[in-house]
Amino acid sequence: MRTHDCRSRALARALSGARASGFGLLAGRFPARFAGHPGLLYLVALNFGVFRALQLGLFLFVPFVVQWSIGNFVSASGMILWGLLAPVGAIVLYSARESIPWFVAYIVLTLATGYVDYELAWLPPRGPKASLSTSVLFFAPNFAALSAFVSTRLRFPYTER
């Protein structure tokens, strides 16, 4: 058993409720009439720049919030992989150079999530937990679907030339 100092115990106490309330925090940031329909925001505002940034922001942050609310990397079946759609989408919607901040944000969130998961690994699980076989079962579809999506998203601009 690894010994932890006061800082890691304080981190564990602070973040133990943050995972469960992640969706509440996310939902409170957007007007209710636009929830689930980012395209509606574009139709109302007719500002593609705002829509593009909002959509990429959702692609980046929602998978992390979902994983934080489910648990760790294994129990969430690698859900944060879907966050990779933000930098890939930024390559297509902006440019390779302008996609760098999106990729850096993805890497920072991934490393921070890994660090927090490492620090909280000693805590007993809360609530119902999926079995390891169920988690592993969902890893393959997550990887396959993300790979297919990235491949088609990157091929599209080049086939339209």
- Higher-pLDDT residue of 1 and 102 is 102
Letter string b/e over residues 118-142, b meaning 16 or more CB atoms within 10 A of that residue's CB: ebbeeeeeeeeebeeeebeeeeeeb
Give whichever of 21-30, 69-78, 121-130 has the largest mean pLDDT.
69-78
Query: Quick one: how far is CA 137 from the chain centroid?
Result: 20
Letter string b/e over residues 66-90, b meaning 16 or more CB atoms within 10 A of that residue's CB: bbbbbbbbebbbbbbbbbbbbbbbb
Cβ neighbours of residue 105 closer than 8 Å, sequence gap 6 or more: 60, 86
Name the CA dihedral angle for 133, 139, 140, 141, rounded to a multiple of 10 degrees: 110
Record the pTM: 0.66
- At 33 the pLDDT is 46
Choice among 8-17, 66-75, 109-118 with the minimum mean pLDDT:
8-17
Tell me the pLDDT band of 17, cut-offs 50, 70 and 90: very low
- At 103 the pLDDT is 93
Choice among 32-36, 79-83, 132-136, 137-141 with the minimum mean pLDDT:
32-36
Query: Quick one: how far is CA 39 from the chain centroid?
Result: 20
Choice among 81-95, 127-141, 143-157 with the minimum mean pLDDT:
127-141
Length reported for the chain: 161
Distance CA 76, CA 70 (A): 6
- At 125 the pLDDT is 66
Distance CA 41, CA 152 (A): 25
The residue type of 68 is: W
Interval 77-83 mean pLDDT: 86
